[in-house]
Amino acid sequence: KQEVTQIPAALSVPEGENLVLNCSFTDSAIYNLQWFRQDPGKGLTSLLLIQSSQREQTSGRLNASLDKSSGRSTLYIAASQPGDSATYLCAVQHPDNYGQNFVFGPGTRLSVLP
Amino acid sequence: NAGVTQTPKFQVLKTGQSMTLQCAQDMNHEYMSWYRQDPGMGLRLIHYSVGAGITDQGEVPNGYNVSRSTTEDFPLRLLSAAPSQTSVYFCASSYGQGGNQPQHFGDGTRLSIL
């Protein structure tokens, strides 16, 4: 069974710092990996999607990498801002999961202090 | 464009009561799913549907029923509420499943069972 973990569970940094969030998964046979952002009281917003054949994706100050063989992904946030404060979840789409649905990690709660 | 709309946003029930959580999307998406989110855990799939008239079970289906009579609507029914069903429930939709189809999430229904 595919399992997804995220470290750390919570992170607090001063504004302007570069930071890395980590995601690990147990089965490398994935279709893709997505990073989501969740604001308090809100649903999930997709940030980046990395296909299984890709190594990384970039969007603005965000860069996500994927190492399928080691079962790891990182989300790099450059020059963090207070508006980046949210919970970040990673999810993998696995062929053996129900309806090829996503398996989600528990999330990393990020606080960027002004 | 409303996206995915969930109602109600909050609900308190007594053990044994039944209720229906509503989910509607206006993007003509074929694929819809229901998740629950509990503290310290990732989202877990309850039920999903690949199109009108077709539903299937996810990881944690017990105690819940779904139906998909139209493309737009995918209600989730709690048959006899139990305290273990206290959670935040999210509905999601996508154009298809597998591959590069981003999921769109509603803002969630926060449900407490006393």
- Nearest C-alpha neighbor of A39 from the set A97, A82, A102, A88: A88
Residue A86 parent element (H or E) = strand A86-93
Scan residues 49-108 of B and list those with Cβ closer than 8 Å to A.
50, 56-59, 90, 92, 97-100, 102-103, 105-108
> Could you tell me whether strands B10-13 and B87-94 are parallel, antiparallel, or unpaired per DSSP bridges?
unpaired
**A98·B42 Cβ contact <8 A:** no
Q: CB neighbours of B107 closer than 8 A, spacing ≥ 6?
A: A41, A42, A43, B6, B9
What would the two tokens of residue B45 be?
């799939």
Give pLDDT, residue A42. 86
Condensed to tens digits (0 to 9), the pLDDT of residues B26-59 reads: 999 999 999 999 987 789 999 999 999 999 999 9
Q: Determine the distance in angstroms separating the CA of B113 from the nearest CA of chain A, rounded to an integer.
A: 19
Condensed to tens digits (0 to 9), the pLDDT of residues A37-74 reads: 999 888 899 899 998 899 999 999 999 999 999 999 99
* CA pair distance B110, A95, nearest whole angstrom: 30
Average confidence score pLDDT of chain A: 93
Condensed to tens digits (0 to 9), the pLDDT of residues B77-95 reads: 999 999 999 999 999 998 8
